[in-house]
Amino acid sequence: MAGYYADGVRGGSVMRRQYAGGAKPTTLSAPLGGSTADLIISGTDFSNYPTGDVGPFFIVIDRGFVAEEKILCLSRSGNTITVFNTGLDNGRGADGTTVLAHSTGATVEHIYSATDADEANLHVNTPPSHITVATSATRPASPVANQTILQTDTSTLLSFIGGAWVEISGTGASGAGVDKVFWENDLTITTSYTLTTGKNAGTFGPVTINSGVTVTVPSGSVWSIV
């Protein structure tokens, strides 16, 4: 787990966390110190809490009281939870709370945190961070930089780069059954395009270049229409 941060990110990226729907509120069976060096949490019944096997998880102790503290936890074994700690980053006082001491009998709960909600909200409302399914007729009219779509009618993956939709993946050769024989291209060029410097290009013709559209072939490159 080294390299992860107590706010739920690793190297600036969203980090996978674990949740358990059957985790019921329980209590501490031993006091928990108020230092980042206090990394072992003993509970009365952690039997249905996450184990940390697919990612850290959040708990809160003393929710609703002055001593409320959220903690990012690394793992659980039986009724013992180990706090997340890399030596540089520590799970105590997570999610904007303060590291505090907690007495035996303090209430412990497994939670969905503000960090979780913020990351989900960021993903849903940031188009470049996910892929939208569309067609050539329904793709976003006002895309944002690096937005990516799966264009189903042409079976292509496109990203909005440099003010234009750029194909970043296609189906390649196609055919019936498992055949990969036929390479297909459009019959009309509708958008100006410049070949990559140092690259040649080929097109199966005839092909029509629409009025006002330019195909630029850099010096040393060749565009072959066959």
pLDDT digits (tens, 9 = 90+) for 124-180: 777 776 788 999 889 888 888 888 889 888 778 888 888 888 888 655 677 787 677
What average pLDDT does this structure show over 52-70? 96
Enclosing H/E stretch for 118 = helix 114-124
Determine the pLDDT at residue 79: 98
Largest CA distance in the chain: 81
Determine the pLDDT at residue 195: 92
Query: Looking at the chain, which runs of residues are DSSP E strands?
Result: 9-10, 13-14, 26-27, 40-42, 57-61, 69-77, 80-83, 107-110, 131-134, 148-151, 156-161, 164-169, 188-189, 193-194, 201-203, 208-209, 215-216, 223-225
Domain boundaries along the sequence of the chain: 9-122, 127-181, 185-226
Between CA 169 and CA 158 the distance in angstroms is 7
pLDDT digits (tens, 9 = 90+) for 66-105: 999 999 999 999 999 999 999 888 999 999 999 999 999 9
For the record, the structure tokens of 66 come out as 């002055």
pLDDT digits (tens, 9 = 90+) for 187-196: 999 999 999 8
Question: pTM for this structure?
Answer: 0.58
Burial code of 163-172, b = ≥16 C-beta within 10 A, e = fewer?
Answer: eebeeeeeee
The residues with which 133 forms a beta bridge, in sequence order, are 150
Which residues make Cβ contacts (< 8 Å) with residue 200, sequence separation at least 6? 221, 222, 223, 224
Residue 6, CB half-sphere, CA atoms under 13 Å: how many?
22
What average pLDDT does this structure show over 205-226? 95
Using only the alpha carbons of the chain, give its radius of gyration.
Answer: 27
Between CA 16 and CA 193 the distance in angstroms is 40
Between CA 6 and CA 49 the distance in angstroms is 19
